Structure 1
Amino acid sequence: MGLSGIFLETLNVTLPVFAMVFLGLILKRLRWIDQAFVSTASLLVFRGTMPTLIFLSIIRADLEATLDPWLLGFFALATLGSFLFSWGWSRLRVPLAERGVYIQGAFRGNCGIVGLALAAGLYGEAGLSVGGLLLGVVILTYNALSVIALAHHQPEAATDWRSLTGQVVRNPLILAVVAAVPVAALDIELPAWLATSGDYFASLTLPLALLCVGATLSLSAAAGPQGRLALDASLVKMVVLPGLCTGAAWMAGFEGRELGVLFVFFASPTAAASFVMVKALGGNATLAANIIALSTLLASVTVTLGVFGLRAGGLI
């Protein structure tokens, strides 16, 4: 297949994901959906449809092929490395008061929605299975490291570690992974009617989640006075860290599906949850919103070019 064919195949993977994001933005502008819809739909996805999707994907997967402790461990190490890089870079570029928000925006990706959607587009059920297992690592590392960054740079912010630990342990996505692994290991089959109903329910996940991401974007915020800092963090998130982490993954021996899923997780735009955490801890919510908006806009280009480059090089 020539480069033009590879590029068209790449667009077939990435464009549907980002088209749904921008459709959410348009529908919000047209007032076909509102904040009440976004809040309700986001809760439905987080508590119901996404855990169902992850559960079904894992129980249908070949665990011997997808449950790779080295893959999970490498992703955790790469996340820690991204966090430390962002912290060190922020000391050179960012005023002290904004560093916590900058660090979180630069390393915390939207893996649960955009990353998972891209993994599904690239590899179908197998991509969802690998991505679902990685989400367990994502939830643990992103939440803990984000609180460390924000609390360190805002000493007046009260950090309730017991509450944070409880939230992680009770997270529906982690519970879905924990429930699915033994079912898959024991090769337990669900009744046909239950599996079909679960598929109907799970199929709501990615369209709803991507629409909600788009509906929460604010282009006016991205053009605000703190645009330079937001652009700096977005370039670190979308260009520098995906390049470094994916290169490290390749050097560590990952290739094919595993390297592809790692890349789309590394290259996911900043998570919308980062805004919520900044708001809760009294940080600069405007800067957080700017980073989310700009990184999501950049992602439509950087992810497409990244996937194309890896495919053209025969790496994924």
Structure 2
Amino acid sequence: MSLAAVFQETLNVTLPIFAMVFLGLVLKRLRWLDQGFVTTASMLVFRATLPALIFLSIVEADLAATLDPRWLGFFALATLGSFLLAWGWARLRVPRAERGVYVQGAFRGNCGIVGLALAAGLYGDYGLSAGGLLLGVVILTYNALSVLALARYQPQAATDWRSLAGQILRNPLILAVAAAVPVAALDLTLPTWLATSGHYFASLTLPLALLCIGATLSLSAARGPEGRLALGASLMKMVTLPALATAAAWLVGFRGRELGVLFAFFASPTAAASFVMVKAMGGNATLAANIVALSTLLASLTVTLGVFGLRAAGLI
């Protein structure tokens, strides 16, 4: 296959995702979407449609092909390594008061929406089911490490670890994975009417979530005194860490679909949830918003080039 054909295939995967994001931005500017819609739709996605999508993708998957403890363990270790690298860099180059916000923005990706959408675009049902299993690891590691970084540099924030553990265990995405794995392992079949209705409902997830990301994206947020720090964190999130983590995955032997899904998750822009956590813990919410905005804007370029490069090299 020629490089031009590979690039065209890459655009077919990445452009629909980022087109929906920028459509959300345009619709917000036209005032067709308001904050009330974004709040309600985001809650619907998080609490209902995304768990339904994850549940169905795992139930209908071949667990023998997707449930790989070595693969899941590598992702957890790579996440920890990314976190430690971002923290080490922050200690050298970032003012102490902003380090927690910088670290969280530099390592915490929007895997639940963008990562899952990329995995599905690359590998269809396999991408959804494998990505759904990875989300269980994502939720546990991202939340625990984010609180650790923020609590270290926001001493006025009281960290209730028991409450945090309860929130993680009650997370709808964790519950969806926990419910789906035994159903898939026992090879149980859902009634046709229930599966069909579930797919109708779950199909709302990605377009609705991507529109909401676009509607919350603020181009003006990327300006201001924190712009340089935000750019540094965004470049680490979108260039440095995905490149290092993907290279490490290749070195330990992951290829094809496994490597492709890992890259989709590593290369996701900073999660909007990072802004919410920073605000709740009394950190610099403006810097957090800047990182989310800049990393999302960069993603349309870095993800496309990353997928193209990996495909051109025959690695995914």
What's the TM-score, normalizing by structure 1? 1.00
SS of structure 2 residue aligned to 1:156: coil
Letter matched to residue 287 of structure 1: L
Counterpart CA distance in 1 for 2:194 and 2:295 is: 39
Equivalences for 1:168-247 in 2 at 5 Å? 168-247=168-247
Query: 1:6 maps to what in 2?
Result: 6
Residues 240-278 of structure 1, C-alpha deviations (whole Å, 9 max, x = no match):
000000000000100000000000100000000000000
TM-superposed deviation, 1:91:
1.0
TM-superposed deviation, 1:166:
0.5
Query: 1:97 maps to what in 2?
Result: 97
Worse-superposed segment, 215-224 or 73-82: 215-224
TM-superposed deviation, 1:5:
0.2
TM-superposed deviation, 1:224:
1.8
Say if 2:108 is the partner of 1:134. Answer: no
TM-superposed deviation, 1:93:
1.1
SS of structure 2 residue aligned to 1:224: coil
Query: 2:281 maps to what in 1?
Result: 281
Counterpart CA distance in 2 for 1:209 and 1:70 is: 30
Counterpart CA distance in 1 for 2:199 and 2:250 is: 34
Query: 1:144 maps to what in 2?
Result: 144
Counterpart CA distance in 1 for 2:12 and 2:278 is: 35
Which 5+ residue runs of structure 1 have no aligned equivalent?
none
Query: 2:62 maps to what in 1?
Result: 62
Letter matched to residue 102 of structure 1: Y
Counterpart CA distance in 2 for 1:18 and 1:288 is: 21
TM-superposed deviation, 1:83:
0.3
TM-superposed deviation, 1:56:
0.4
TM-superposed deviation, 1:201:
0.1
Query: 1:256 maps to what in 2?
Result: 256
Once superposed, which parts of structure 1, at least 4 consecutive aligned residues long, lie more than 4 Å away? none
Query: 1:124 maps to what in 2?
Result: 124
**Identity rate of aligned residues, in percent?**
82
Say if 2:155 is the partner of 1:155. Answer: yes
Counterpart CA distance in 2 for 1:291 and 1:157 is: 21
Residues 212-263 of structure 1, C-alpha deviations (whole Å, 9 max, x = no match):
1111111101022211000000000000000000000000100000000000
Equivalences for 1:102-117 in 2 at 5 Å? 102-117=102-117
Query: 2:291 maps to what in 1?
Result: 291
Residues 258-314 of structure 1, C-alpha deviations (whole Å, 9 max, x = no match):
000000100000000000000000000000000000000000000000000000000
Counterpart CA distance in 1 for 2:18 and 2:43 is: 21
SS of structure 2 residue aligned to 1:270: coil
Query: 1:20 maps to what in 2?
Result: 20
SS of structure 2 residue aligned to 1:188: coil
Counterpart CA distance in 2 for 1:216 and 1:275 is: 11
SS of structure 2 residue aligned to 1:299: helix
SS of structure 1 residue aligned to 2:114: helix
Counterpart CA distance in 2 for 1:206 and 1:168 is: 22
SS of structure 2 residue aligned to 1:187: coil
Counterpart CA distance in 1 for 2:221 and 2:49 is: 30
Letter matched to residue 300 of structure 1: S
Counterpart CA distance in 2 for 1:298 and 1:4 is: 22
Letter matched to residue 229 of structure 1: L
Root-mean-square deviation (Å): 0.5
TM-superposed deviation, 1:172:
0.5
Query: 2:88 maps to what in 1?
Result: 88
Counterpart CA distance in 2 for 1:82 and 1:296 is: 19
TM-superposed deviation, 1:194:
0.4
Letter matched to residue 126 of structure 2: A
TM-superposed deviation, 1:132:
0.2
Residues 39-96 of structure 1, C-alpha deviations (whole Å, 9 max, x = no match):
0000000010000000000011110000000011000000000000000000111100
TM-superposed deviation, 1:144:
0.3
Query: 1:73 maps to what in 2?
Result: 73
What's the TM-score, normalizing by structure 2? 1.00
Query: 1:164 maps to what in 2?
Result: 164
Query: 2:270 maps to what in 1?
Result: 270
Counterpart CA distance in 1 for 2:288 and 2:174 is: 25
Query: 2:50 maps to what in 1?
Result: 50
